[in-house]
Structure 1
Amino acid sequence: MSNLLLQAWEGMIKPILFRPKRVQVAALCLRTNSREKEVLMITSRGTGRWILPKGWPISGKDGGESALQEAWEEAGVQKGRVEGDPIGAFSYEKELKTGLPVAVETFVYTICDIELSDKYPEAQQRERKWVPSQEAANLVREPELQDILRQL
């Protein structure tokens, strides 16, 4: 390989091809009714499809605290208890505001003992609903997240 090609590979091409995934956190908000576990789902602002509340980690908060903050902003979870470490992760491609897709690894935290508010930051931008975990698995498109939901 010529020196010029090697420089192009090292400087421009390799970083694009081998860029690490970005990290997000998701809140798997659960409640149990008399027969089954239910998951709090919200609609995406961009596509309107059903998703879990999720977002970028927040400076000064750990993963679970960041997931709980996202659950407040996007779904109105004013109180909840994070149950330890993530129960799994899923990957997807997120389109940034620039239009470029980036690979994202999303760690899923379970949130229990939930209290909802009708007034929250994104209430006018999203719908929310409780659905049985098996139905939630059918609503999402990411296979790894479907597996997590089916195992509840």
Structure 2
Amino acid sequence: MTKIRQRTRPEPDREPRTQYAALPWRRTPEGAVEVLLVTSRETRRWVIPKGWPIKKLKPAAAAAQEAFEEAGLSGTMGKAVGDYHYDKRLRSGRTQHVRVRVFPLLVAEEHPAWPEMDQRERRWTAPAHAAELVDEPELKLLIAAFNPNG
């Protein structure tokens, strides 16, 4: 017997919207990989820099812009390493389902000043520890599996 799924149209604010994120990383002098997390502005949870699409910027460039604004970082963007999903609470109190495309950012420079420096903390740590610090299950997996060598 085959089950037939009835498709229902989700509420308009449940349609997934896309954001772009940077997964900043570097190598220690010993050759180990570290990734950088920042705190979210409102809940102070550990996250990676991310934001909505920016007109006239390709996805990787938008992610790089978020890394500069939120963490004061610049460097070389790589190809997307995956996606994760989360539910964003909107000002209206409703929830928006969001798909986040993640691009690795090999950090070349940590700027001494950046737009959101008074609103966020940043922390370099090993990917396994960073995965423990973030809340989103798919982001945990993505960070834990991160390998800049491919």
Aligned residue type for 2:125: V
Q: Per-residue CA shift, 1:103-132, capped at 9, x if unaligned?
A: 000000000142011211000000011111
Contact 1:93 1:102 in 2 (8 A): yes
2:140 maps to 146
Shift of residue 17 of structure 1? 6.8
The answer on 1:70 being equivalent to 2:81 is no
Q: Which runs of 4+ in 1 moved over 2 A?
A: 17-20
Scaled by the length of structure 2, what TM-score is found? 0.86
1:50 maps to 46
Q: Per-residue CA shift, 1:21-77, capped at 9, x if unaligned?
A: 010011000001115211111000110011000000111011100000000000001
Contact 1:29 1:114 in 2 (8 A): no
Aligned-residue CA RMSD (Å)? 1.7
Scaled by the length of structure 1, what TM-score is found? 0.85
Figure out how many residues of one structure are paired with residues of the other and give that number: 138
2:3 maps to none
Aligned residue type for 1:32: R
The answer on 1:21 being equivalent to 2:16 is yes
1:120 maps to 114
CA distance in 1, matches of 2:10, 2:43: 30
Identity of aligned residues (%): 40
Choose between structure 1 and 2: higher helix proportion: 1
SS at match of 1:14: coil
